[in-house]
Amino acid sequence: TRSLCDWSSDVCSSDLKEGAAVNDFRRPDRVVIGTDSEKAGRMMDKLYEPFLRNHDRLLLMGVRDAEMTKYAANAMLATRISFINEISNLCDRLGADIENVRKGIGSDERIGYSFLYAGCGYGGSCFPKDISALIRMGKEIDFDPTLLRAVDSRNEAQKQVLLEKIRRHFGEDLHGRHFAMWGLSFKPNTNDVREATSLMMIRRLVEAGATVTAYDPVAMEEAAAELDPAWIADGRVSMTEYQYDTLKGADAMILITEWKRFRQPDFAAMKDLLRQPVIFDGRNQYDPQVMSDLGFSYYGIGRTNMPVAV
C-alpha cells in the first residue's frame, strides 16, 4: 500500500519544532504512533512512558491515520498564519490595527492566540512541504484542495508585502538604495533558511538595483550559500558580525526574523547609524506610536493605518 509519505519530499518525521526539538521530545503535548502491529504499539507505549507520566497523551492509530495527522496538523497551523496575514492586509487598507484584532479574536477560547501573529510569510521545511504534499495528493486522486491552495497562495503573496511597502516609500527605482536586514533564518532559534522570506527579499532588492547588508545570530553562512556568489563578491550583498554594523549608511532597516535580541534595540543608536530613520518591521516587533514619537517612519504588517476609499 502506498504510504502518504510517498507524496512528500522527504521522510515523514515526528512533530518536533526546529529550535525546540529536545524539549518537545521530553515534554510532548501528545505522541502520535502509527502502527498496524499491536505488539509494536505496546512497545512504543512503554518507550514513551517516562515522558508521559503526568498525562496519558499517547495516541495509537493506523499508519495512514498517523501520517495524515502529521500533515493535517501542519496544514492547520499554516492556515491560521495565512488567515491572520490575509486579515492584516485588510487592516492595512482599512485603517485597523491587526494587533488589536489579534487580541480580540484570540481572547475567544474557541480560537486562542497560537499561530495568530501577522508577518511576512512562513518558511522552513515543514509547512511549505506539507501543504505542497497535500495539494499534490489531491491532484493525484482527482480532488481539488481549494483551501490548501489558497493557504499556499496567500503565503507566497505575503512574502511580497514588505517589498511593496518599500516601493511605496522609496519608489519603484531602488538603484543606489542600501538596506540593512535583521534576521535571515525562517524563524528564531534555528539556522534554517529554507523557504525563508529573507532570501526572496534580498534577491528582489538586488534585482531592483539596491544593495543589502544582513545580520543573523546563526544563519549567515547558510544564507550566503543560497545567494548568488557574484553578489557577495562585488558587495551587493554583505554580512556583518554585529547587528548594528548593518545600519551604517542604510536607507532603512528591514526586520525579517523575530530573534529576541531584536525586540528592544537601542533606537537612538539606530537613528544615528541609519541614513534615514525608516523601519520595515516584518514581524510587528515594535509599537507604531512609539516609533513615530522617536521620529521613525515605521511600516509594520497590518499596522500602518493607510485607509483607502471603499
pLDDT at 52 exceeding the cut of 80:
no
pLDDT at 310 exceeding the cut of 50:
no
Q: Give residue-wise pLDDT tens across range 227-281.
A: 999 999 999 999 999 999 999 999 999 999 999 999 999 999 999 999 999 999 9
pLDDT at residue number 28? 73
Output the average pLDDT for the chain: 90
pLDDT at residue number 119? 97
Q: How far apart are CA 26 and CA 290, in angstroms?
A: 40
User: Over pLDDT 70: what percentage of the chain?
Assistant: 89
pLDDT at 86 exceeding the cut of 50:
yes
pLDDT at 3 exceeding the cut of 70:
no
The model carries a pTM of: 0.87
Q: Which of the four pLDDT bands, split at 50, 70 and 90, describes residue 305?
A: low
pLDDT at residue number 13? 39
pLDDT at residue number 220? 98
Q: Which of 218, 217, 212 is nearest to 200 (CA)?
A: 212
Helix (H) or strand (E) holding 238: strand 237-239
pLDDT at 12 exceeding the cut of 60:
no
Q: Which of 275, 257, 263, 136 is nearest to 196 (CA)?
A: 257
The percent helix, strand, coil of the chain (3-state, each to 5) is 45, 10, 40
The residues that are catalytic are: 126
Q: Give residue-wise pLDDT tens across range 115-136.
A: 999 999 999 989 999 999 999 9
pLDDT at 161 exceeding the cut of 90:
yes
Q: Tell me the average pLDDT across 182-197.
A: 96
pLDDT at residue number 2? 43
Length of the chain: 310
Q: Which three cell numbers stand for residue 37?
A: 502491529
Q: Which of the four pLDDT bands, split at 50, 70 and 90, describes residue 59?
A: confident
Q: How far apart are CA 34 and CA 250, in angstroms?
A: 52
Helix (H) or strand (E) holding 239: strand 237-239
Q: Which three cell numbers stand for residue 150?
A: 489558497
pLDDT at 1 exceeding the cut of 70:
no
pLDDT at 5 exceeding the cut of 80:
no
pLDDT at residue number 17? 61
Q: How far apart are CA 266 and CA 270, in angstroms?
A: 6
pLDDT at residue number 9? 36
Q: Give residue-wise pLDDT tens across range 21-51.
A: 677 666 777 888 898 898 988 888 888 888 7
Least confident range of 25-39, 42-56, 84-98, 140-154: 42-56
pLDDT at residue number 146? 98
Q: Tell me the average pLDDT across 60-85.
A: 95
Q: How far apart are CA 308 and CA 94, in angstroms?
A: 6
Q: Which of 81, 42, 66 is nearest to 302 (CA)?
A: 81
